[in-house]
Structure 1
Amino acid sequence: MNTKHIVRTLLILLALVSSAALFAQRTITGVVYDENSQPIPGVNVFVRDATVGTITDGEGEFSLNIPDGSVTLVFSFVGYSTKEITVEDQTRLEVSMEPDYVGLDEVVVIGYGTARKSDITGSLASVSEEQIKEMPITNINQALQGRAAGVDVVNSSYGLNTNPQIRIRGNRSIKAGNSPLYVIDGVPIAGTIADINAGDIESIEVLKDASATAIYGSRGANGVVLVTTRRGKSGQFNVNLESSFTFTNALRFFDQLSGHEWMEIARNNNRSSSRYTTPFPNPTDDYAIVRNMPYTVWEAVESGYEWNEDGSVAMRPVTDEERERWSQVMEDVPEEVPVYHPDDVRTYDWFSHGRNPNALTQNHLFSVGGGTDRLAAYFSLGYIDEEGQGVGERYQRISPRLNLDFQVTDWLKVGMSTIFNSELADYGEGLLWGVTSMLPVSVPYDSTGEFLINPTNDTQVKNPLRDEDLNTREDRTSRYLGAYYAEISFSRHLKYKLNVSQDFRHWRRGRYQHALSSARYPSVNWVQYSQNQ
């Protein structure tokens, strides 16, 4: 036999033997159960690093052809931990899968229940605990700013402790309200969520479309903001202390007129009525402008002129450019004019008395949480101290919170979420705005240190610098928000939950204005007290 023919025959036989060994397969069957020994349909079953796979049927059964030898089967299902099993010579398997608690972080709150985010068909925006902690905030509404598509958070005022205005997908009504409905731990509340500690929030979900109306009726027409607070977790014990210190300053403030700028406005005003005789500053007409004001105002103006030892004003020659320009508005341009330095006109910085640069805000939160198999608890104590941009403005809040969950029996679970807030807001007497009406050439005290109640002799414009010491304006608010629930489990798929809530708010305002304050002078003391709940 030809040698080449013998080699060819051996190679063919070797290939046939190798192919038979390569494609030798066997069948493996089995069933997949959940943590309660119930069959799970739709579980993915496949050979690792191969394209061979199947899914379980309605009874949790599967059948799969696998290669001979040792192989690894992978079992995966949404909401359960992926499981790998090495198969040697077994022909049937019973597999038990455990819930994937890490995956449960993707569960979001929708209405009166929860669902996986991938299962939601409505429009929903979610803000996680990590996103809330990215920056220090004193108002939980600020956590939604720039983090939820379609949600506008706008400050209607930049004063102390302002509550931002929230609009979900814009305004929907011209006359009716446009604020969303707030739901805390499954319970709708009246008002806002501004007084809840940001550190107590676990997540915020925003329902933006018709699904909100389907769950909450007409109350959800403007959208719904769902807030889930922290709770104790079984088998854990955590103690946390969170503190932040921030300084607030305005990027830009009012541009105050200088003393010269104000005088130039006054000169032009008098020129329009022919009461100012020259196109250049002169002390005679300047004095006529301020002669009815306290002498301190004239002192500010005269400091812009040079004076001789005999008390006369110093003079200088007129330039050719000045002569050409002034000849258009006056017939005889003088050879000399008073020496005037605009920058030497005294300017008093009234704003320095009203502004509080680098206003300090401190936010502290102490929390402790944990639990056993039957009882879980979470307690926190928060404190906020915020200074305003205006002198005398201050906001303080202390707020303890207690959340409890108790598994009474295998079929009954009860719990509660409670928070109490005590707020003190001192808005001051508007000193920041009061100083804006003061003329830059006026001063609050004369040369002897005497307080000038009318720095310009205008009875409608009074000196406000004493108001912070003379007047008082405080708002005190106490609020108790409690939500209680009882949950009865009839089976794994059937539960009944009863929610009961209480929202109590007591607001008080006290105002006192002294007879010598800018608001009352010359009159009598004034007191006002109001409250509601």
Structure 2
Amino acid sequence: MKNNYWKPGFLSGTVGVSVAHIWAAWALAGTTLAGPGELPAGLTPSSTTTISAPTLPTHNGPAERVAVTVTGQITDETGSGLPGASVVIKGTTNGTTTDANGSYSLSLPTGNETLVISYIGYLSQEIPASGRSRIDVKLVSDSKALNEVVVVGYGTQKRSDLTGSVGSVKSAELLDRPAINVEQSLQGRIAGVNVAINSGRPGGNSNIRIRGYSSINATNNPLYVVDGIIWAAGIDALNPADIENIDVLKDASATAIYGTRGANGVILVTTKRGRKGGTISYDTYVSSATLARKRDVLNAREFLALEDQAYQNVAKFDPAGWASGKYASKDPRIKRTALIGKLFDANLNPLYDVDWQNEITRNAISQNHNLSFTGGGDQTTFGLFLNYNDNQGIIRNTYLKRYTGRLVMDSQLKPWVKVGATLNYSNSDERRGDEGVGGNNIPRMMIEMVPIVPIRYPDGSYGRRQDYPDMESGDNPVALSNEDKRMYKKQVFGANAYADFTLMPGLNFRTTLGANLASQYNPFSETNLVQLTRPFRGYAEIWSYDTKFLQWQNYLTYNKQINANNSLNVVAGVELQKYNYLQWFSGVESLPDNYYEYYNLGVSGNPLPPSSSYNAYQMASYFARANYNYRDKILLTATGRFDGSSRFGANNKFAFFPSAAVAWRLSQEEFLKGSTVISDLKVRASYGLTGNSEINSYQSQANLSTNVSVIGGTRAPGTVIGTLANPNLRWEKTAQYDLGVSMSLLKGRIGIDADVYLKQTRDLLLSAPVPLSSGYASIYKNIGSMENRGLELSLNTVNIDNQTISWSTNFNISFLRNRVTALGDANDDIFPNPYFLNNTNILRVGESVGSFYGLVRTGTWGSAEADEAARYGRRPGDLKFQDLNNDGQINDQDRAITGKGIPTGYGTLSNTVRVKGFDLTLDLQYSYGNDILNLTHHSALDRTGQANSYGEVLNGWTPENQNTMIAQARPSYVYYDSKIDSYKVEDGSFLRGRNLVLGYTLPSELVQRWKLSRLRAYVSAQNFFVLTKYSGYDPEVSTYGDAFAQGIQFFDYPKSRVFTAGLNISL
């Protein structure tokens, strides 16, 4: 029998009641607030309680159940709101998550349900609602997880248990500062991780270096692991909004579990999964981007005046030739007169004055949309995550459009088995304008295109640089933007499935199968409206690439609490990897009509020779790690991995990579327990060995190449051995020593992490000479070594934290010293492939990898130095270089190291202030001690009369202005002096306003009326200022991609200033 009636006047006053009596009444009533025979939390049969009840109005029927909305805030022990905390009605899947301030709003059927509040790293709490409309909850740290969970190789650990150096970025940080790729998400977040966004092009190249450089001829890129599986198809295919957290393994203790793939650090990406209950989220933004900085170039009148001055200076350069009339035909007035009506009026004034930077750039409007659905129950959860990104470039007709989709499922099939799967798909469509460094490179042409030629003539035809005689080949950047169609189309499919078995208490077995499949299709067509150096007008080509990567891993995890003071965690497993890559090319010239583009190559009667290439490798690995914990204060880690790779010589297919680490949590010692200042203090030390297997798959083997010989007057094609085999070729190995300290002060208000490290790489792969009797010039051998020494410091503070305002600061700085320590037996200098007219870099023992190498410019020769200049074959007004060896000549023997592209120090300073629902974030990025080799000076300073120039040439040498670094203006046909020298090296240090965000999260009480759980609006500005001495568009630049190229700049796609407005909505 149930009696759910409220008797008028019952408990209308204050009475003392035995809990036993209440228990009996509770059981008889069979109330829906608790099961029969159950007591409300906190009551026992032997206790008594005082109950005060208000006088209630008379009600003569059954009580109606009225839905109640409860609101509140979930905070940590310091009172800071916890975003993303789960608030669920006990026994159901109905619930919500907290917003960025930790606030929530939830509708309860009766108002008397029990709420379950949980957050990773904190103890869950169950709170009876008891009819209240507001419930604030302060969560306390889990005694078993004093810090957040951190993903490490093949498992997770509490941060308090880490012995290695690991940096993390959480989803809440990513949400507040949206990015279009993972590299942007990481920039400036973690000490020791240098992310250089080197191009302003949508999808432009970036370099990520973790603790410096580890190789010369192999890769320096980190290993990406997404949800436990190596991501081999390009990390740009992953939507940053799908990321739950990023963990970066920096020292060898953390990376050795990845063996040959860990020398450059490991970036572990954990994506979002489904969650119990049901949520729908939609995030969107619209942005406007403009050219952040213009270069000062000559306008039409300045260009023509400089040309006239240069011509007149020929008389001083070659008086005899000038007097003989040798140069009379070069008088600019002659060609200008011939162009009256086309480029000049009757008085030889220019008809056009085009600012090509203005004409080719635009205000680019971009948009991004993320939509996610998650749901499930106690056994199975799922998630669907969708994204569309339309990122328009500031150069006209350049863009990157990307569609991504991700489907995830996890299911607890039985108490002892859990399975899950992830499907990722990405489809990107990109149009570029900065390909190569020649006349079809739009960023170059927007500087070099002469201002006196129009975009189009009245008849609609394009103006061309060659329309003004004597100009170098190259084309109208607007014509290139319209008529050159250079596309990059890429599809990426990623999948992984796992099964996790509990074999016995503490022992789990996990098997995971993953695949990355990428198909890239790069078509290019150029209409016959564009005039370049090709002999045929109308051109098309197609490059195609297929990449396949398969990975299967199986490992056991054993957790054992030995006794109250000792615990053990062991991971051991085996892994197989298989990779193959196929590339092919086809192209044609002389297309009969422009509309064919690259869609029908067969219509051309002039095909180009096709080509193809193939690359494949396989790896087999065994790995193990053991973690020992003594009383939560002494932590030991030992790791080992045994790798075998098909890439290396027959005598060195396998190698072992061990590491060991120890940590001492001094805060657990009696002399620090109870300290009101030091909340946590840990000292770490580690050593480990990792490798680098990312070399050419067939570098250890003899490679065949084609050759044509003439036998008896007849050309006879054949096949020869092009390179020698080296069966002793082995892995590059990096040994790393790390000493670190992690400290938390004042109950977490101040957090400090500091690491000092020594990273030594040996057995570097370099090209070594062999005896000429072998018939070959060189062979790749393991003969070099280098080292990186560094210091990393992170400081996180909570400056103010109360109910009204919170203010937190994050600061990190990294110091790096890189140097080459050996280059073979003789330690001879090595000159990498030149990036331009001659060698730009040098490898020298004792110096930084990628050091710039050139002459030392000291100024220009003055009139009073004419005799001394003549001894060097120079004249007053010529460039003056230092004769370093004093031999009376200026040649390659006078070249010296003039700078380096690797910064001495770099980092960020970030401040976040929250007031009520408002949040304000300011990110500053800085770098110092790095140089830039500005090769654009070759084109825009050294070639008067061939192209337009920087305004800097107006400060060139004249009899009245002899104290200058710029040579006297002369036509290139009499004076051309462009060398790699110190004047082209500029200070690349900078301070950047990287991100400024102002957001507002509407109160939960308000958005609940709209059936929403969260609504945040924000505006932001990216790259809103840069302080630098560098004269180019942006000091964070690298035109080329290898270890030597950081800081070498030759007409890159310029950076933009971006203003964004967005919304974050959750249902």
Aligned counterpart in structure 2 of residue 355 of structure 1, from 330, 349, 361: 361
CA distance in 2, matches of 1:122, 1:103: 17
The 3 A distance-change label for structure 1 pair 180 and 257 is same
CA distance in 2, matches of 1:303, 1:200: 59
RMSD: 3.1
Describe how 1:54-65 pairs up with structure 2 within 5 A.
none
* Alignment pair present for 1:147 and 2:189: yes
Q: Deviations over 1:246-300 (max 9, x none)?
A: 22222212222112211221122111123999xxxxxxx7623633556433339
Map of 1:330 onto structure 2: none
The 3 A distance-change label for structure 1 pair 461 and 145 is closer
CA distance in 2, matches of 1:451, 1:164: 34
Offset, 1:525:
2.0
The 3 A distance-change label for structure 1 pair 399 and 203 is same
One-letter identity of the residue aligned with 1:298: F
Aligned counterpart in structure 1 of residue 447 of structure 2, from 432, 436, 442: 436
CA distance in 1, matches of 2:512, 2:124: 36
Aligned counterpart in structure 1 of residue 309 of structure 2, from 268, 276, 280: 268
Asked if the contact 1:303/1:346 (under 8 Å) is kept, the reply is no
The 3 A distance-change label for structure 1 pair 517 and 486 is same
Offset, 1:510:
1.0
Aligned counterpart in structure 2 of residue 252 of structure 1, from 273, 290, 293: 293
Offset, 1:350:
2.6
The 3 A distance-change label for structure 1 pair 161 and 423 is same
Aligned counterpart in structure 2 of residue 373 of structure 1, from 374, 378, 382: 378
Map of 1:455 onto structure 2: 467
- Between Structure 1 and Structure 2, whose CA radius of gyration is higher? 1
Aligned counterpart in structure 2 of residue 482 of structure 1, from 495, 516, 535: 495
Asked if the contact 2:300/2:353 (under 8 Å) is kept, the reply is yes
Aligned counterpart in structure 1 of residue 259 of structure 2, from 217, 220, 224: 217
Corresponding pairs, count: 395
Map of 1:291 onto structure 2: 337
* Structure 1, unpaired ranges of 5+: 1-77, 85-97, 278-284, 305-344
Q: Deviations over 1:324-360 (max 9, x none)?
A: xxxxxxxxxxxxxxxxxxxxx952223333112x322
CA distance in 1, matches of 2:366, 2:346: 39
One-letter identity of the residue aligned with 2:209: R
Map of 1:501 onto structure 2: 514
Asked if the contact 1:109/1:205 (under 8 Å) is kept, the reply is yes
CA distance in 1, matches of 2:446, 2:121: 63
* Alignment pair present for 1:107 and 2:149: yes
The 3 A distance-change label for structure 1 pair 300 and 407 is farther
Asked if the contact 1:421/1:480 (under 8 Å) is kept, the reply is yes
* Alignment pair present for 1:399 and 2:404: yes
Describe how 1:72-221 pairs up with structure 2 within 5 A.
81=123, 100=142, 106-221=148-263
CA distance in 2, matches of 1:448, 1:479: 45
Q: Deviations over 1:469-509 (max 9, x none)?
A: 43322111011011110100023311111111010000001
CA distance in 1, matches of 2:309, 2:228: 66
The 3 A distance-change label for structure 1 pair 300 and 370 is farther
CA distance in 1, matches of 2:540, 2:460: 30
The 3 A distance-change label for structure 1 pair 271 and 389 is same
CA distance in 2, matches of 1:166, 1:450: 44
Aligned counterpart in structure 2 of residue 465 of structure 1, from 478, 494, 497: 478
* Structure 2, unpaired ranges of 5+: 1-119, 127-139, 317-321, 324-330, 434-439, 547-1067
* Alignment pair present for 1:243 and 2:284: yes
Q: Deviations over 1:358-384 (max 9, x none)?
A: 322211110011211110101111010
One-letter identity of the residue aligned with 2:168: S
Structure ranking higher in helix proportion: 1
Offset, 1:529:
1.2
One-letter identity of the residue aligned with 1:143: S
Map of 2:391 onto structure 1: 386
205-214 or 414-423, which deviates more: 205-214
Asked if the contact 2:178/2:241 (under 8 Å) is kept, the reply is no
CA distance in 1, matches of 2:147, 2:173: 14
Offset, 1:409:
1.0
CA distance in 2, matches of 1:185, 1:398: 20
The 3 A distance-change label for structure 1 pair 301 and 116 is farther
Give the match's secondary structure for 1:218.
helix
Asked if the contact 2:340/2:348 (under 8 Å) is kept, the reply is no
Give the match's secondary structure for 2:515.
strand
CA distance in 2, matches of 1:174, 1:460: 35
One-letter identity of the residue aligned with 1:206: V
Give the match's secondary structure for 2:498.
strand
Offset, 1:99:
10
Q: Deviations over 1:399-440 (max 9, x none)?
A: 110111011111111101221001101114644543433211
Asked if the contact 2:147/2:159 (under 8 Å) is kept, the reply is no
The 3 A distance-change label for structure 1 pair 257 and 184 is same
CA distance in 2, matches of 1:101, 1:398: 43
The 3 A distance-change label for structure 1 pair 122 and 510 is same
Map of 2:424 onto structure 1: 419
TM-score normalised per structure 1: 0.68
Asked if the contact 2:442/2:477 (under 8 Å) is kept, the reply is yes
446-455 or 137-146, which deviates more: 446-455
Map of 2:93 onto structure 1: none
Give the match's secondary structure for 2:414.
coil
Asked if the contact 2:473/2:532 (under 8 Å) is kept, the reply is no
Give the match's secondary structure for 2:344.
helix
Q: Deviations over 1:154-184 (max 9, x none)?
A: 1233323114211101112222211111111
One-letter identity of the residue aligned with 1:502: A
One-letter identity of the residue aligned with 1:227: V
The 3 A distance-change label for structure 1 pair 379 and 105 is farther
The 3 A distance-change label for structure 1 pair 261 and 79 is closer
The 3 A distance-change label for structure 1 pair 437 and 518 is farther
